[in-house]
Chains A and B, each alone.
Chain A
Amino acid sequence: MSELTMTTDHHDHGPAKGIGRWLFTTNHKDIGTMYLVFSLIMFLIGGLFAFVIRAELFQPGMQLVDPNFFNQMTTMHGLVMVFGAVMPGFVGLANWQIPLMIGAPDMALPRMNNWSFWILPFAFSMLIATFFMDGGAPAFGWTFYAPLSTTYAPPSVTFFIFAVHMMGISSIMGAMNIIVTIFNMRAPGMSLMQMPMFVWTWLITAFLLVAVMPVLAAVVTMMLMDIHFATSFFNAAGGGDPVLFQHVFWFFGHPEVYIMILPAFGVVSEIIPTFARKKLFGYHSMVYATVSIAVLSLVVWAHHMFTVGMPIAGQLFFMFATMLIAVPTGVKVFNWIATMFKGSMTFETPMLFAIGFVVLFTIGGFSGVMLAIAPIDFQYQDTYFVVAHFHYVLVPGAVFGIMAGVYYWLPKWVGRMYDEGLGKMHFWLSFIGLNITFFPMHFVGLAGMPRRIPDYALQFADFNMMASAGAFIFGTSQLIFVYLIIKAARSGETADQVPWESAEGLEWTLPTPLPYHTFTTPPVIEK
């Protein structure tokens, strides 16, 4: 894409000492690290909740927890994974990589960057503290449909609303920062159509965030009003409508799905060309496809609501619009495969995760097409088929995307290599574990098992036991990942400046170990 010359930094300031470094830092690398560590901790906590869920569902009958606590687990698992693990994970990657990839010295708004991170630990402490409140944590599902989440909610719902507001503020600030950085801080000569795919996908994601996070804030504020100030937005008895909640929520919720997947598209679009030793196929169509997906994602929300009894015209509109998303998504998958085609491939851990992403995300895409068809969606809606679908999109999709990025860039971040053998083991155990967990969920869903139930009829027993066993494999193998990162950071072999044979991009022009401040003089991009 571009050739460049490097100027070395003359007076390099190191980081501050002690805890102050982390509390007051405005350095994009430090903040990126904090986001990623936070994301990993949340991933483990959310995983623990999943563990409780799968343990209870190991066999029919109630064994470990009561139904109310089970509902708290499914709710908190969803909230923690979506808002605590996946979103901050990608913001962490953005913080680290966007300045390095566009040749900027830091994010455009470094103090706001610090603030947007430090809101999160408080938001999640408050959310998790609801477990110890009277009536327990929220138990109405991560989609918190009214009136279960208003009139019928435990008292802790107010804290949940406050926590969601804080997460929303954090995300909006993070997104604005990314937009401003990309528009204003690119190295001289780097046009938009020369930006790396990861930067492109994050730019589009950031616009989606700014568009829909305020809508999430609106819906929880309406809840707050209904609960404490006697309004009736979602109460039919007062002239409101419970379905209004779903429209507003999913206007946020569906783009949210793409917020969690578009940056992963970007990550694999960086990794596949490197390990195929071949330029990304169809860069332009990749960009247009990403923009189309983002635009379409704003007009398909009601496909989550096919059973609410919409007029048939609405039903048809949302069905067609949703099916249409398959076209740009297909383009992306074809482009990745065309990039691999006639390449010269090797299969280091980042590439394994990227390939795992393409295969399994595509399976999630297929079930997505099935779910888009309204008349048959009536049979899938709110069953384990849906659970299987979105876990295929989010686990080997979003989560594998983050992990692929971590493996790919870790040598640059910490200046040391990770243990390749452990990385491969992590990949294969995750890959096998998640397929054993989530594939059988398609079957029990089709056979009639509703989601969010703590106990089930006997004909679902065997596949549930299998899913639980798979979850156990998947969950424990994530500890390898934690160990591998610590080991790499502490005692890994020193990494080369370009650890991958044919990696391209500004980040690889920087020395290893990476100075605390980089690109204080912008690189020159030669066309």
Chain B
Amino acid sequence: MRQIMHLFGMALLVSSGSALAAWELNMPRGVTETSHTVYDLHMLILWICVAIGVVVFGVMFWSIYAHRKSKGAQAAQFHESTTVEVIWTIIPFIILIGMAIPSTTTLIDMYDSSESDIDIKVTGYQWKWHYDYINDGVDFFSVLKTPKEEIYNEQEKNPNYLLDVDNELVVPIDKKIRFLFTANDVLHAWWVPEIAIKKDTIPGFINESWTRIKEPGTYRGQCAELCGKDHGFMPIVVKAVTQPEYDKWLADQKAAGAAKAAEADKDWTLDELVTAGAAVYQKNCAACHMPDGSGMPPAFPALNNNPMMQGDDVTAHMEVVINGVPGSAMAAYGKQMTAVDLAAVITYKRNTWENKTGGMVSPADVQAFMDK
């Protein structure tokens, strides 16, 4: 007991430094009809368990207190009673039926994803999320925003440490949103506690779920299925906004998409590509091949001083980046990035660290390769 008190004291001391409520004990009630039902069901089952526990442990501790040899207790001789045994088989059974009924109705409701207003396809990647607003032609990746310096304790951690992304999933409130889940590489699971959705994303298969968010706000979650090295670093941020805000956001996204497409036609210089490529590299490649290109052999080869990055055979390099390496963790980035980003990152890798080819790969080269 003293140890527990001591620990509590210690932990309190530590937490008093931060303004965060770090003693959250329970599931959030959430912001959807479903999440409220789930929360209420959770509390109901919890209290039933607590009640049973009080009775069972009550009898047990009373026996331990009263029927001990040191108090002169004499052992009774009984060792079975059909009546009692039947009763304590039937009573739990009835309680379980009581639990099963609301559980079943809740589950049926959660499975009904018909008549949606918006469909969003969610794809899990090692280690980021891709969101595709199927009906609106808007799609983007969503990647962890927390800087390495915070993770490696060189900078103070901000309140949304590990729960911040570059591009949030923006959705309108009071609309039925249907999610279609799939994955590109391994299994992931898309989980946002406050809307009570957790669904595995499975390569080659599509899962469904739906939500209707009642309150505007930012709701954070994480990948919940072990998906490799950076499983802990692929958060989810859902931003629920009013319909007009959503419309404006959607229009902005479409405009930005058009601008991006126009970039492909521009004449890029080596320096511009290297600068743009550095950013693409840090976002997409550095997790495995490391910021300094040293990699993590054998799974993730070093790119620095890599003959492929230094030689003249640009096609081989493009092949790996664009089509991936089947049977390995190297994904086919041709499906994930624009020609500009691909050209930029390939050029960057050929002109940084100790790889100094001086040559560049233009978006047009990449496009030509992909069209072949």
Q: Which residues on A are within 8 Å of B, measured CB to CB?
A: 60-63, 67-68, 71, 134-135, 139-141, 145, 147-148, 151-152, 154-155, 235-237, 241-243, 276-285, 307-309, 312, 315-316, 319-320, 323-324, 326-327, 330-331, 333-335, 337-347, 355, 358-359, 362-363, 366-367, 369-370, 373-376, 378-379, 381-383, 432, 436, 443, 446-448, 450-463, 465-466, 469-470, 473
Contact = CB atoms under 8 A, between A and B. Distances in A.
B63 A345 contact: yes
Nearest to B15: A462
A452 B73 contact: no
Given A61-B151, A237-B204, A459-B22, 12 more contacts: A276-B67, A331-B88, A344-B73, A344-B75, A345-B64, A345-B69, A376-B42, A378-B199, A382-B189, A450-B191, A463-B11, A466-B11
Contact of B53 (A277, A363, A469): A363
Nearest to A325: B96
Contacts of A308: 200, 202, 207
Interface stretch (B25-33, B254-262, B274-282, B338-346): B25-33
Interface stretch (B155-163, B165-173, B265-273, B303-311): B155-163
B233 to A, nearest CB: 7
25 contacts: A148-B227, A276-B67, A330-B92, A337-B56, A337-B63, A343-B67, A343-B75, A344-B73, A358-B60, A367-B49, A373-B45, A375-B103, A375-B106, A376-B45, A381-B224, A432-B3, A443-B24, A446-B25, A446-B26, A447-B25, A448-B193, A459-B21, A461-B15, A466-B7, A473-B3
* Chain B residues touching A, majority SS: mixed
B199 to A, nearest CB: 6
B232 A369 contact: no
Interface residues of B, number: 112
A366 B53 contact: yes
B38 A378 contact: yes
Contacts of A381: 189, 198, 224
Contacts of B369: none
A241 B183 CA distance: 13
Contacts of A338: 84
B72 to A, nearest CB: 8
B196 interface: yes
B4 A432 contact: yes
B233 A307 contact: no
Contact of A458 (B18, B108, B189): B18
B47 to A, nearest CB: 11
Contact of A62 (B10, B38, B151): B151
Contacts of B100: 319-320, 323
A474 to B, nearest CB: 11
Nearest to B30: A379
Contacts of B78: 281, 342
Interface in B289-315: 296-299
Contacts of A135: 298-299
A276 B99 CA distance: 35
B27 A379 contact: yes
A323 to B, nearest CB: 5
B75 A276 contact: yes
A346 B79 contact: no
B221 interface: yes
Interface string B84-109: 11001100110010011001101110
Nearest to B45: A370
Nearest to B42: A376
Contacts of A358: 60
A278 B67 CA distance: 11
Contacts of B232: 67, 450, 452-456
B67 A341 contact: yes
Contacts of B189: 307, 381-382
B46 interface: yes
A68 B296 contact: yes
Contacts of B89: 285, 327, 330-331
Contacts of A342: 63, 67, 73, 75-76, 78
Contacts of B63: 337, 340-343, 345
B135 interface: no
Nearest to B1: A432
A139 B153 contact: no
A378 B198 contact: yes
B134 interface: no
Contacts of B46: 370
B298 A447 contact: no
Given A277-B75, A462-B11, A457 B161 contact: yes
Contacts of B159: 458
A60 B161 contact: yes
Contacts of B153: 61-63
Nearest to B18: A458
Contacts of B93: 327
Interface in B191-238: 191, 193, 196-200, 202-205, 207-208, 221-233
Contact of B22 (A276, A315, A367, A460): A460
A465 B88 contact: no
Contact of A456 (B49, B162, B185, B297): B162
A340 B64 contact: yes
A173 B118 CA distance: 57
Contacts of B186: 145, 147-148, 151-152
A279 B8 CA distance: 42
Contacts of A373: 41, 45, 99, 103
State the 6 A-B residue pairs at the shortest beta-carbon distance, nearest first. A236-B204, A453-B232, A309-B207, A342-B76, A447-B24, A366-B49
